[in-house]
Amino acid sequence: MLVTARQLLLSLTVLALTATLGIAQLPKVGSDVYTDSADLGFKVKVPDGWDSIPPQPEENGTIIIKYVPKGTKYMLLGGDKNLFMTCWILKFDRRKKEEADTAKGGAKAFGRKPAKDLQAWIKEPDSIEGGKTLKVVNQKDFTVQKITATEYEYVTPDEPKLAIGYYAAVYKLNADVDVAIVFNGPGDPKKWNKWETVFKQMARTFASVDTKEVAGGTATGTTLRDKVRAEQMRNLATLGGDWKLYETPHYFVITAHKDKAFIEELKQRLERIHEIYEQDYPAAKAEEYRKAGAALQTRDTRTPEEKAQDEAEKAFRDAMNGGADPAELASCSVVRLCKDAEQYYSYGGPRGTAGYWNNGARELVIFDDSKVGGKADTWCTMNHEAFHQYIYYFYGAISPQSWYNEGTGDFYSGYTWKTSRYVLEKFDWRVGTIQEAVRDKTFTPLKDFVRLTQQEYYEPSKVHVNYAQGWSLIYFLRTGKKANAKGWNPAWDTILETYLRVLAMTGKVDMAVDDAYKGVDWAELEAAWVAYTK
């Protein structure tokens, strides 16, 4: 994950301005229609002009798609309480798993189990504000286009001016499958009636449509890339048409962005930075480490308990990669490009970040920052996150410790595009921060820094200094020898390679640190690093 001080400040400023404005447009019924002709066969009107946001892979069992307003997304209810306006389209699929998977062409849900009905979804953690405290204030059966449905109204148990109201219509497609459309709005009775009227108008537009085969939704070959492409096409077929798939030799790019020139530049840059990853982390090294790890297990002295634990961890890593060859996985990398920061945050991007790699969902998520930070920020983030994706696949579903993982990601962020090729430079986001920390002696001693847990690395008061220190340490270890750094010790030449080799062979981060820095004089290393950083 790439954390930036500028992005954090920006996100907090946006929230503050939005809360101050407190202006939210009443949703309008226009010509915008969500249509699913690929899976369940239905259509319904959605708020006019709102942005379509795909479900994150973790949500893929229940949420089909959601919509959020363009521009101002919050409505100030009172005090410091905001309403984040959303329209959800959900499915509650109670068919047997095999039947449901077959209907979807074999795609498997990731993350939480699908909710069996609306009430179960409401009570899930983080589904909607109010969750388990919501109370039904109205319920009514109705029929639309010969489809039986039930509408519900809920309100949070707050004083009227701070309450959030929800309107939901649940449609009975068949005995085992329901579809729902859910809206939220101000729960204050003085405002609710106006919002509810619009919600009901959209809910009454629900209708069945014929389903048809998804173009490209069936793999035409037997390779993993063929299967991933077909799966992505099936997923896109349920997103209403805004999101499209673009390909490069190693990546699948999914985006609703309309700027074709930007997308083409992103594709070109992805392939060029991938070439650099392959130079620095060649396939031959990955194979060498895997063979060494297998040989190590044949002559180990572990206790039965330690061996069982290690085998369980390896089985988990293998399962995450589905037993596929790492090189093949690295040629099927999925990149989701959000068109701007608003869409990124609506999708689920953490505030204060510029992108992230979700290894469980196998998805890299970034956004076009042209409007604020400039495209250069997007490319820095892409290089950083694509490294996380590459190293995870290529070395057997491993995630190095943050000093190595985030530091190396930032190292690649320093590559600058010049005449259609990358040239290594210092990553300017980090230089000033670490030089200040070195000057003021507010950095973490290196012998402690390389053992920070992820939680410690992300500690709010230190996270930006930690990122800068991680970048500077990796930059020092990768460039110090060639630059004739003052006090360079040849014993440091192999620190990074030893760390990754031991980690890839054993999966144990503590052992990797022990072996990588074995015999290192920490005072000597830190003095040389400080001098180089200054």
Q: What was the pLDDT predicted at 329?
A: 81
Answer for the pair 365, 341: CB distance below 8 angstroms, yes or no. Answer: no
Q: Print pLDDT tens along the chain (534 aa).
A: 676 544 433 333 333 333 333 455 799 999 999 999 998 999 999 999 999 999 987 776 899 999 999 888 888 888 888 899 999 999 999 887 644 443 343 334 445 688 999 999 999 888 898 888 898 999 999 999 999 999 999 999 989 999 999 999 999 999 999 999 999 999 999 999 999 999 999 999 999 999 998 888 888 888 889 999 999 999 999 887 789 999 999 999 999 999 999 999 999 999 999 999 999 998 888 778 877 776 665 545 556 776 666 565 455 445 545 556 777 888 889 999 999 999 999 999 988 889 999 988 889 999 999 998 899 999 999 999 999 999 888 776 677 899 999 999 999 999 999 888 899 999 999 999 999 999 999 999 999 999 999 999 999 999 999 999 999 999 999 999 999 999 999 999 999 999 999 988 888 889 999 999 999 999 999 999 999 999
| DSSP-assigned letters across all residues of 314-364 | HHHHHHHTTT--HHHHHTSEEEEEESSHHHHHHHTPPTTEEEEEETTTTEE
Query: How far is Cα 495 from Cα 516, in angstroms, rounded to an integer?
Result: 5
Of the candidates 152, 144, 124, the one whose C-alpha atom is nearest the C-alpha of residue 63 is 124
Answer for the pair 48, 61: CB distance below 8 angstroms, yes or no. Answer: no
End-to-end CA distance of the chain: 26
How much is the pTM?
A: 0.85
| DSSP-assigned letters across all residues of 210-234 | ---PPTT-S-SSSSHHHHHHHHHHH
Q: What was the pLDDT predicted at 40?
A: 93
Query: How far is Cα 331 from Cα 326, in angstroms, rounded to an integer?
Result: 9
Query: How far is Cα 465 from Cα 456, in angstroms, rounded to an integer?
Result: 12
